[in-house]
């Protein structure tokens, strides 16, 4: 928390200096830049509302939103305030895009692949099966054209989308029974979002998507036989292991990025300095969430055998992984042939991953391969 406060103070100072430089460059008289204190006090506070998919007090994901809102308030000197409504209040955990688009909320925090039913192209901006890991994907977003492609997709929805925090590589899910072959997937009822759901559906899984707050109940009541959520940073506290003890390593979400959404008209109506403050706060909160998620996963994993002896760690058999990869390629090819925008994003991600993966292999992979104890 101390580090966050230091960062907020530094960012606030930076933004203040930038604002003064902008005013000077625009030829504003110095006496106007230094407005009397009473005029500053009368300045109207801009109050926005943000709807999030997560429930009240939800760790890591919800914390990222709180951090962002606190930073906006601090850096703006109280000129802008963002009030957060959790899913407990608005009752539409999977309706965030619609509410932000309609202007019911100026902002939202969710995950882009939740909107695949409305627009399949949104899936790319969360994560894709067998795709980039988090450092590669962040590089693609900010330096490889990802932000521009995301803007093209979301423009027609009337919102801006920004990276909203990464979980890193996610686990492959919790299962009531062990999965030893493709036959074991037939008729299995599983909660899994995004493109991974399309793949598993082709392999015989009955796929559904369920809001986070309903996951444990759905598993407990037998509505589903398995689910994937995040990883040890969040899963163990949810209690899934009490019902479905088989915990599989991941394949489907190597770099799951959440998203901040901002109503386009509302954002464009902000003064430039508040647009900049909001953008900086979202970017900082997103990357801070990535670090926090990694930390909590590492801490929880270190104690998993002692505190949760019922958990049985498994990896999917090679024949299952091979079948997943084959179906993945087939579905990607079908969608790319039918949708030019899908193809444009797929081509961009594929080319960038091919380039970046060579560096990942010679740097991180080579180091880990030689230094794992």
Model pLDDT for residues 125-144, shown as the tens digit of each residue: 999 999 999 999 999 999 99
Whether the domain at 9-15+45-166+255-296 and the domain at 173-252+309-335 fall into the same CATH topology: yes
Cβ neighbours of residue 157 under 8 Å, at least 6 residues apart? 97, 101, 118, 119
Residue 257 forms beta bridges with which residues? 166
Q: Dihedral sign, CA of 126, 132, 134, 138? A: negative
Helices 340-360 + 318-338 axis angle, to 10: 140
Domain locations in the chain as residue ranges: 9-15+45-166+255-296, 173-252+309-335
Model pLDDT for residues 310-359, shown as the tens digit of each residue: 999 999 999 999 999 999 999 999 999 999 999 999 999 999 999 999 99
Q: Return the pLDDT at 31.
A: 41
High-pLDDT (> 90) share of the chain, %: 87
Cβ neighbours of residue 262 under 8 Å, at least 6 residues apart? 100, 106, 107, 159, 160, 161, 162, 278
Report which of 47, 164, 165, 147 is spatially closest to residue 105, judged by C-alpha positions.
47
Q: Return the pLDDT at 10.
A: 45
* Band of residue 41 on the pLDDT scale cut at 50, 70, 90: low
Q: Return the pLDDT at 43.
A: 77
Topology of domain 9-15+45-166+255-296 in CATH is D-Maltodextrin-Binding Protein; domain 2 (3.40.190)
Tokens of 112: 């882009």
Model pLDDT for residues 44-84, shown as the tens digit of each residue: 999 999 999 999 999 999 999 999 999 999 999 999 999 99
Report which of 8, 254, 305 is spatially closest to residue 137, judged by C-alpha positions.
254
Pairing of strands 107-111, 312-314: unpaired
Indicate the CATH number of 173-252+309-335 among 3.10.100.10, 3.40.50.300, 3.30.2130.10, 3.40.190.10. Answer: 3.40.190.10
In this structure, which long-range contacts are made by residues 348-355, counting pairs with CB atoms below 8 Å and at least 24 apart in sequence? Answer: 348/140, 348/144, 348/145, 348/146, 348/149, 349/124, 349/128, 349/131, 349/132, 349/140, 349/146, 352/132, 352/136, 352/139, 352/140, 352/144, 352/145, 352/146, 353/131, 353/132, 353/136, 353/140
Instruction: Return the DSSP state at 372.
Output: -
Report which of 46, 53, 118 is spatially closest to residue 90, judged by C-alpha positions.
53
Average pLDDT, integer, range 196-224 = 97
Rounded Cα distance between 329 and 306, Å, is 40
Would you state the torsion angle of the CA atoms of residues 220, 224, 229, 231, taken in this order, to the nearest 10 degrees?
A: 70
Q: What is the pTM of this model?
A: 0.89
Cβ neighbours, 10 Å, residue 266? 18
């Amino acid at each position: 928390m101390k580090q966050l406060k230091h960062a907020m103070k530094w960012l606030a100072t930076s933004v203040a200096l930038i604002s003064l430089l902008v005013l000077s460059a625009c030829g504003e008289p110095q006496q106007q830049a230094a407005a009397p204190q009473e005029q500053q006090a009368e300045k109207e506070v801009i109050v926005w509302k943000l709807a999030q998919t997560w429930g009240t007090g939800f760790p890591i994901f919800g914390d990222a939103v709180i951090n962002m809102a606190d930073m906006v308030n601090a850096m703006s000197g109280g000129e802008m305030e963002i009030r957060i409504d959790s899913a407990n209040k608005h009752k539409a955990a999977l309706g965030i895009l619609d509410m932000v688009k309609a202007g019911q909320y100026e902002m939202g925090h969710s995950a882009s692949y939740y909107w695949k039913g409305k627009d399949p192209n949104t899936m790319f901006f969360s994560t894709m099966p067998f795709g980039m890991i988090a450092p590669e994907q962040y590089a693609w977003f900010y330096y490889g054209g990802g932000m521009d492609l995301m803007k093209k997709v979301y423009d027609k929805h009337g919102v801006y989308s920004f990276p909203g925090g990464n979980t890193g590589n996610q686990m492959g899910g919790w299962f009531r029974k062990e999965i030893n072959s493709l036959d074991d997937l037939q008729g299995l009822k599983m909660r899994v979002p995004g493109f991974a759901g399309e793949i598993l559906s082709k392999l015989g899984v009955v796929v559904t998507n369920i809001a986070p707050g309903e996951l444990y109940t759905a598993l407990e009541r037998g509505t589903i036989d398995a689910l994937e959520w995040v990883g040890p940073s969040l899963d163990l506290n949810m209690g899934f292991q009490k019902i479905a003890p088989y915990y599989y390593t991941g394949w489907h979400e190597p770099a799951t990025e959440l998203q901040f959404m901002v109503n386009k008209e509302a954002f464009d109506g902000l003064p430039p300095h508040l647009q900049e403050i909001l953008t900086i706060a979202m970017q900082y909160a997103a990357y801070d969430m990535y670090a926090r998620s990694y930390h909590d996963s590492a801490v929880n994993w270190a104690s998993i055998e002692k505190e949760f002896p019922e958990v049985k760690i498994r990896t999917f058999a090679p024949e299952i992984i091979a079948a997943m990869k084959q179906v993945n390629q087939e579905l990607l090819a079908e969608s790319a042939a039918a949708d030019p925008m899908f193809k444009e994003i797929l081509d961009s991600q594929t080319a960038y991953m091919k380039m970046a993966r060579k560096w990942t292999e010679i740097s991180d992979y080579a180091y880990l391969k030689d230094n794992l104890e």
